[in-house]
């Protein structure tokens, strides 16, 4: 019997003892406490292995994240007789910051108390902005070429990553940190409304960061600095983010020398998108399929206040060359309901969602995919990423 089996067995015995004590009522006080109580961390649900095989791969998707060195665009401009409030350019933080960013855009859009508002785009930013505009009292119509299921937002990882390639430290300006914190805290609080709902649109799950010691092969050159200085702001919200902990040897079945664990919020985007769409329509919202070729086309809408949320499409729609593509690819393995955690190992990320096991290559750091606008699937990348997970779980078994 392995040490991990022993820990699980001890946890089960302790749980059974607890049930027995409740049944004994007053007699329970006569029983001596267990000599070696099992720590809380050892009594978590068992860590089940992922079936990391290419024959379980059912899709590969590619998404272009809309990155702006200055941070998201949230200004307003007059286009003909329409007021256009922009809300795009969130890099890898679109879902995470959507409610906070939308709240800022809606405040600007509602300054003149319009009875009707148009929202361009039906992704994460468009849907949340539309719902917030409804709550502010406006009648809202979404205009979009694609609904959420076909939009780039549907191909996101689905993790709470509020400062993932959100800006460059030197370009965002000294005031952007305060704005980012406002968006992050507003979004975090809003997402609490979706915890515990049927379908699990938003959940908390554990994440495990695994590493093996690097063999000492002599003197090493210091790692080359990142070409770009991506801004990092998570220290500003340490009070709402769980802190990672290093686990003792044998505390998990993972076969690596070092295991760190934290918990993070995740978005099951299929369920979350369905919930948001249902909420928007139930509140009287309308959706009209339409494609806009230029920003001037927005002046032709009957609504004279527009919240513009085109995501990466802003590069063409607004002729905005400050929008830089950041390519990301996801390999989708068949869902496993018994797997309810995420793993980071050898540059590969695995996140279990209700709609599939999300596998991503992260080697190359924040520069991975930067400036790459190719949305063509790279199967070799998928095979390598799944292969790394297969090696991990092969060792684990």
Residue 16 CA to residue 36 CA, distance in Å, equals 15
DSSP assignment string, 287-336: EEE---SSGGGGGGSS-SEEEE--GGGHHHHS--TT-EEEEEEEEEEPP-
Q: What range defines the domain where residue 278 resides?
A: 54-213+226-396
Q: Scanning the structure block, which residue is given the tokens 């983010």?
A: 241
CA distance 392 to 55: 17
pLDDT of residue 257: 94
Start-to-end C-alpha separation, the chain = 14
Residues facing residue 85 across a β-bridge: 76, 307
Q: Note the pLDDT of residue 381.
A: 97
Residue 45 confidence (pLDDT):
76
Within-domain flag for 327 = yes
pLDDT at 364: 84
Each residue of 117-131: pLDDT tens digit? Answer: 999 999 999 999 999
Cα dihedral sign, 195-200-201-206: positive
pLDDT at 223: 54
User: How many folded domains does the chain comprise?
Assistant: 1
Q: Mean pLDDT across the stretch 267-278?
A: 96
According to DSSP, the residues that pair with 159 across neighbouring strands are 266
Asked if the structure places residue 11 within a domain, the reply is no
φ, ψ dihedrals at 250, nearest 5°: 85, 0
pLDDT of residue 15: 33
Tell me if 206 sits within 8 A of 262, measured CB to CB: yes
Contact (Cβ atoms closer than 8 angstroms) between residue 334 and residue 98 = no
Q: What pLDDT does 35 receive? A: 42
pLDDT band at 203; cut points 50, 70, 90: very high
Q: Which candidate, 78, 79, 119, places its Cα nearest to that of 101?
A: 119
* Mean pLDDT for the chain overall: 88
Q: Please give the average per-residue pLDDT across 103-111, as a whole number.
A: 98
pLDDT at position 362 is 94
Q: Does some domain include residue 221?
A: no
**Residue 27: per-residue pLDDT:** 34
Binning pLDDT at 50, 70 and 90, where does residue 50 land? very high
Residue 160 CA to residue 382 CA, distance in Å, equals 23
- Is 235 within the bounds of a domain? yes
pLDDT at 4 over 50: no
Residues 6+ apart with CB under 8 A from 237: 162, 181, 184, 185, 188
Tokens of 223: 């790692």
User: C-alpha distances in angstroms, 190 versus 123, 142, 186, 362?
Assistant: 17, 21, 6, 29
d(CA 98, CA 4): 41
* pLDDT tens, residue by residue, 53-71: 999 999 999 999 999 999 9
What's the average model confidence in pLDDT over 330-339?
97
Residue 31 in domain = no
The arithmetic mean of pLDDT across residues 230-234, rounded, is: 96
Residue 233 lies in a domain: yes
Please say if the pLDDT value at position 396 is more than 50.
Answer: yes
Distance CA 382, CA 393 (A): 17
In a domain, 359, yes or no: yes
Q: Which of 41, 88, 47, 28 is nearest to 64 (CA)?
A: 88
Helix (H, G, I), strand (E, B), or coil: what is residue 17? helix
Q: Is 355 helix (H, G, I), strand (E, B) or coil?
A: coil
Q: What angle do CA 180, 183, 186 make, to 5 degrees?
A: 145
Q: Does the pLDDT of residue 26 top 70, yes or no?
A: no
Whether the pLDDT of residue 304 is over 50: the answer is yes
Region class of 113: left (phi > 0), else alpha (psi between -120 and 50), else beta: left
Q: Please, what is the angle between helix 94-109 and helix 124-135, to 10°?
A: 40
Count the Cβ atoms, other than its own, within 10 Å of residue 214. Answer: 7
Q: Does residue 23 belong to any structural domain of this protein?
A: no
pTM score, whole prediction: 0.86
Percent of the chain past pLDDT 90, that is, above it, reads 82
Show the tokens assigned to 397: 């078994």
For 25, the token pair is: 């009522």
The fraction of the chain above a pLDDT of 70, given in percent, is 86
């Amino acid at each position: 019997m392995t040490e991990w089996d022993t820990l699980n067995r001890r946890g089960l015995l302790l749980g059974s003892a607890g049930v027995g004590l409740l049944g004994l009522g007053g007699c329970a006080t006569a029983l001596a406490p267990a000599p070696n109580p099992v720590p809380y961390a050892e009594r978590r649900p068992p860590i089940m292995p992922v079936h990391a095989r290419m024959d379980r791969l059912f899709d590969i998707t590619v998404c272009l994240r809309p990155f702006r060195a200055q941070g998201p665009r949230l200004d307003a401009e007059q286009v003909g007789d329409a007021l256009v409030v922009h809300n795009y350019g969130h890099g890898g933080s679109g879902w995470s910051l959507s409610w906070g960013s939308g709240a800022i855009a809606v405040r600007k859009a509602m300054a003149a108390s319009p009875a009707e508002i148009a929202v361009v785009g039906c992704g994460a930013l468009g849907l949340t902005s539309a719902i917030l505009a409804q709550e502010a009292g406006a009648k809202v119509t979404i205009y979009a070429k694609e609904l959420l299921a076909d939009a780039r937002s549907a191909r996101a990882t689905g993790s709470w990553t509020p400062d993932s390639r959100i800006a460059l430290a030197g370009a965002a300006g000294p005031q952007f940190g305060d704005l980012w914190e406002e968006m992050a805290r507003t979004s975090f609080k809003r997402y609490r409304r979706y915890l515990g709902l049927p379908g699990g649109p938003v959940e908390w799950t554990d994440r495990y960061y695994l590493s093996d010691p690097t063999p000492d092969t002599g003197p090493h050159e210091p790692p080359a600095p990142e070409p770009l200085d991506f801004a990092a702001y998570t220290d500003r919200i340490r009070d709402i983010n769980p802190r990672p902990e290093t686990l003792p040897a044998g505390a998990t079945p993972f076969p690596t020398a070092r295991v760190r664990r934290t918990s993070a919020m995740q978005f099951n985007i299929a369920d979350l998108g369905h919930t948001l769409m249902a909420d928007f329509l139930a509140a009287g919202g309308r959706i009209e399929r339409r494609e806009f070729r230029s920003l001037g086309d927005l002046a032709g809408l009957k609504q004279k206040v527009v919240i513009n949320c085109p995501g990466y499409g802003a590069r063409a729609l607004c002729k905005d060359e400050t929008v830089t593509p950041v390519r990301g690819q996801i390999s989708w393995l068949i869902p496993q309901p018994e797997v309810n955690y995420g793993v980071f190992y050898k540059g590969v990320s695995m996140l279990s969602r209700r709609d599939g096991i999300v596998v991503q290559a992260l080697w190359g750091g924040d520069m991975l995919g930067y400036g790459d606008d190719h949305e063509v699937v790279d199967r070799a990348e998928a095979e390598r990423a799944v292969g790394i997970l297969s090696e991990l779980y092969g060792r684990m078994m």
